[in-house]
């Protein structure tokens, strides 16, 4: 076979690059990408730092070891870990869960029971299906995520954004995937909006512990500012074969929280039952 003439090599290289690029991920890495995982994570967190309180209405479908609950949920979330969920079904009020960060209370109006004990993942799961701390629930529903304390952090820029991988000393790792809107692709890193679309925690064997996906981002006004929040949040708890899908209908930021919103007392005739935290 005769060797190709030197003049033909540049054209061949360009053609090869075009074919390879056509098989790659959709979209394109931003023109001026983030190069530091820490800087990208800080930028995402700072964009939500002013969001202290969320009042929202959502449609929730949850499945866990306590059964399946579908209905409308009115919620209050206050950083770092205070939460309230009022569940309404077609038959009326079904349950109210409150936590002030330390004390968990659940009025289960379906079973005429009032449960209370420490706030912990197993108690939160009695209503939400997935085993999460109150602080984790608040962060997830605000378009954020808890993070591993990493011994090593790396980041790749591909497709429509970035994937950050955090590796802990105990062998666990976490992946966080961010989407950069097309209108921000030519912006410098500091001006790129980072939309978290997936946060997934893996144990030391590589098995998924939990996964959260975020979709349908919209701008929500907070005074003079606009905050981008996901209106669809999907929790998956692989260890307990449970999941919760939240579809927000309305979100209001930094409203005044009514006194006593994160605590409740048993209705007349109901006796409080203590529920301890179960081992994970």
One-character DSSP codes across 75-107: EEEETTTEEEEEEEETTEEEEEEEE-SSEEEEE
Q: Which residues form the domain of 203?
A: 28-49+145-253
What SS3 state is found at 26?
A: coil
Both 152 and 114 in a single domain?
no
Both 149 and 218 in a single domain?
yes
Judge whether residue 16 has pLDDT over 70: no
Q: Is there a domain that residue 100 lies in?
A: yes
Both 40 and 63 in a single domain?
no
Judge whether residue 25 has pLDDT over 70: no
Structurally, the chain folds into a number of domains equal to 2
pLDDT at 64: 66
Q: Is there a domain that residue 134 lies in?
A: yes
State the CATH number of the domain containing residue 97: 2.50.20.10
pLDDT at 27: 60
Q: Is there a domain that residue 19 lies in?
A: no
User: Which is more confident, 40 or 93?
Assistant: 40
Of 12-16, 22-26, 68-72, 132-136, the poorest mean pLDDT is in 12-16
Q: Could you tell me the CA-to-CA distances from 5 to 8, 9, 10, 19 in Å, in that order? A: 6, 7, 10, 21
Both 159 and 91 in a single domain?
no
**How many Å apart are CA 223 and CA 58, to the nearest integer?**
22
Both 33 and 105 in a single domain?
no
Of 23-32, 36-45, 240-249, 271-280, the poorest mean pLDDT is in 23-32
| Residue 89 burial (CB count, 10 A) | 14
Q: Among all chains, which residue has been given the structure tokens 């033909």?
A: 8
Both 226 and 110 in a single domain?
no
Both 38 and 175 in a single domain?
yes
pLDDT at 153: 97
Q: Is there a domain that residue 121 lies in?
A: yes
Of 122-136, 150-164, 191-205, the poorest mean pLDDT is in 122-136
Both 119 and 91 in a single domain?
yes
Return all residues near 21 (Cβ < 8 A) that are at least 6 apart.
Answer: none
Q: Is there a domain that residue 276 lies in?
A: no
Q: Is there a domain that residue 278 lies in?
A: no
pLDDT at 128: 82
What SS3 state is found at 244?
A: strand
Q: Is there a domain that residue 21 lies in?
A: no
Both 99 and 236 in a single domain?
no
**How many Å apart are CA 3 and CA 168, to the nearest integer?**
52
Q: Is there a domain that residue 273 lies in?
A: no
Span 253-274, mean pLDDT? 92
Both 37 and 132 in a single domain?
no
Name the band, by pLDDT with cuts 50, 70 and 90, for residue 66.
low
Both 41 and 57 in a single domain?
no
**Residue 31 DSSP label:** S
Both 225 and 101 in a single domain?
no
**194-223 pLDDT tens trace:** 999 999 999 999 999 999 999 999 999 887
Judge whether residue 164 has pLDDT over 50: yes
pTM: 0.84
């Amino acid at each position: 076979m005769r060797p190709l003439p030197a003049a033909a090599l540049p054209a061949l290289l360009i053609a090869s690059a075009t074919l390879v690029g056509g098989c790659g991920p959709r979209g394109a890495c931003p023109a001026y990408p983030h190069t530091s995982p820490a800087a990208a994570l800080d930028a995402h967190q700072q964009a939500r730092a002013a969001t202290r309180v969320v009042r929202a209405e959502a449609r929730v479908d949850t499945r866990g070891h306590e059964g399946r609950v579908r209905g409308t949920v009115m919620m209050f979330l206050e950083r770092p870990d205070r939460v309230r969920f009022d569940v309404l079904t077609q038959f009326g009020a079904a349950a109210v869960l409150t936590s002030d960060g330390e004390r968990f209370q659940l009025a289960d109006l379906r079973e005429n029971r009032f449960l209370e004990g420490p706030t912990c993942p197993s108690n939160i799961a009695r209503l939400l299906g997935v085993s999460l701390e109150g602080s984790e629930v608040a962060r997830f529903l605000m378009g954020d995520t808890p993070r591993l304390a990493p011994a090593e952090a790396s980041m790749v820029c591909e497709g429509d954004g970035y994937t950050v991988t955090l590796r802990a000393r105990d062998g666990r790792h976490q992946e966080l995937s961010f989407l950069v809107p097309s209108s921000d692709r030519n912006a410098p890193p500091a001006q790129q909006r980072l939309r978290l679309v997936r946060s997934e925690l893996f144990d030391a064997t590589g098995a998924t512990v939990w996964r959260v996906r975020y979709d349908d981002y919209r701008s929500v006004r907070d005074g003079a500012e606009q905050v981008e929040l996901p209106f669809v949040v999907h929790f998956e708890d692989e260890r307990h074969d449970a999941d919760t899908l939240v579809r927000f209908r309305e979100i209001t930021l930094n409203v005044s929280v009514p006194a006593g919103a994160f605590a409740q007392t048993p209705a007349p005739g109901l006796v409080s039952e203590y529920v301890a935290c179960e081992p994970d």
